[in-house]
Structure 1
Amino acid sequence: MKNKYINKADGTKELYLYGDVLSDWEAEWQDVCGVTGGVSTKTVREVLQDSPDAELTIHINSDGGDVSAGIAIANLIRSRAGKTVGVVDGWAASIASVIFMACDELHMPENTFLMVHKPSAYVGYGDAADLRAYADTLDAMQEGIEKNYQARAAEGVTADDIHQDVEAETWYTAEEAAKKYTISVDPLQAQMVACSTRNFAHMPLTVKALKAELAAPKKEEKVNPVQHFDKEKAYISAVLKKGELLR
């Protein structure tokens, strides 16, 4: 789904952040490949600059993505003058959970999920010193990410509680998330939609099944496995060579 920005009649705004969190560089490559969707720092910044004092509801359905881009987006949301209301429409996983928690008010319909885990990196090349430096960077990023969660922790939840959840890759139901963080559980059922085909080690079966169902080609669709192959191959090669910190 392509991200949507809606101006409502009552003066409030709605922003839908669906799909992978992308660096601006990745987003540019996706444009070259003709791929729609995804969330980039540039597009979010442009939206937040419109009516900065108005109340903005941010709907999130994302597996996460580029750590640096996600942190930048969270900081943009946090520094906005107007009130922001975060709503999980399916799941907010990985760095998307940090974006969600940057909102002033947090809501999860009772059939949605929140996931926290350790950041990881795709390393295309490097010697032992390079790999140690990557590990140090990931540790520093994890510490910063956990501070974001700690700022929204429910009463009685310690920094160590959150650290253990991050270390283990924890998927919370809405009810479980509300016990750890200052999140309101809404009785209304969100209509969940798949945001990508990426899988995680401890992903709930409900999420896996939905991804598989919505990712399957429809009968009337013609699937061309070599479509845009050259562009996609160049994009993947460039990402690996760049060695960006991603999911």
Structure 2
Amino acid sequence: MKKFWKWRNQAQTETAPAERTLYLNGTIAEESWFDDDVTPQLFKEELMAGDGNITVWINSPGGDCVAAAQIYNMLMDYPHDVTVKIDGIAASAASVIAMAGTRVLMSPVSMLMIHNPMTVAMGDTGEMQKAIEMLSSVKDSIINAYEIKTGLSRAKLSHLMDAETWMDAGKAVELGFADEVMKRPAEIEDTEPPAVTMLYSKAAVVNSLMDKIAEKCKTNRPAPKAEPKGRSVGDLYERLNLLKH
């Protein structure tokens, strides 16, 4: 079995306390997790095998939402502080895991992405409706994690997920998905987000592009000629002749 997580444990020394570090890299549950009792149990055993605070480094495009939900629950249930550090990307299911951090820090060049859950379904209309209802329930459960961390309204979070929203570190701090942008140890502590932040919405970009295409495709028809008003010169001459006689 290929694990998507890796532990690095550093024993306590005279100058430094014991340190536990968990790395989550690549696709979450790339080979095994769903409908599998072995993998979740193994992760939990390794998590609980040590004591003290832990640091979780995340660089993942996401993956299985069931695995993400279980890891989130395990980290939330861990009896010590969990510091999450996003050094590359925490997208989709990985963003859910990040919400379990007591504190969430992001590299200044990292990204966080949230979107609606997806699945593959086949069958008749009844089966399709079941899939839709299942996805709706999964979305509600994901919003729970985002809401606890950010304090944003469920409606706001739902709109951000609908739009497939990408956030840089500054925007993630601004919206409450992260607590701080990582800095060099020697830098002066400053938890204020940068003045310029970036939020990218796939839906907004697509809509803007479609509007521009529609504008380009409009037919440049010439303006209609104005109809002459009043009487023609011929009519005036006829009127004068009648007046003469």
Q: Fold-level match, TM-score > 0.5?
A: yes
Partners of 2:131 and 2:92 lie apart in 1 by 18
Runs of 4+ with deviation above 6 angstroms: none
Which of the residues 152, 159, 169 maps onto 1:174?
169
Q: Give runs of aligned pairs for residues 39-118 of structure 1, distance below 5 A.
A: 41-51=40-50, 53-118=51-116
Shift of 1:24: 6.9
For the aligned residues, what is the CA RMSD? 2.7
Give the Cα–Cα distance (whole angstroms) in 1 for the partners of residues 65 and 79 of structure 2.
Answer: 24
Amino acid at match of 2:140: E
Provide Cα deviations, 1:134-154, integer angstroms capped at 9, x if missing partner.
110100110110111011115
Q: TM-score, normalised by structure 2?
A: 0.66
Question: Does 2:144 correspond to 1:147?
Answer: yes
Q: Larger relative CO (CA 8 A, sep 6+): 1 or 2?
A: 1
Other-structure match for 2:10? 8
Q: Which runs of 5+ in 2 are unaligned?
A: 12-16, 185-199, 203-245
Q: Normalising by the residue count of structure 1, what TM-score does the alignment of the two structures yield?
A: 0.65
SS at match of 2:5: coil
Q: Which letter maps to 2:116?
A: K
Map of 1:117-196 to 2, 5 A cutoff? 117-123=115-121, 125-153=122-150, 157-181=152-176, 182-188=178-184
Residue 4 of structure 1 and its aligned partner are, at CA, apart by 2.4
Give, as a single letter, the amino acid of the residue that structure 2 aligns with 1:11.
A
Q: How many residues align?
A: 178
Percent of residue pairs identical: 27
1:130 Cα offset (Å) = 1.1
Amino acid in structure 2 at the alignment position of 1:184 = E
Cα displacement (A) at 1:11 = 1.0
C-alpha distance in 2 between matches for 1:97 and 1:87: 11
Q: Does the 8 A contact of 2:4 with 2:30 survive in 1?
A: no
Letter in 2 for 1:177: A
Structure 1 residue 78: Cα displacement = 0.5
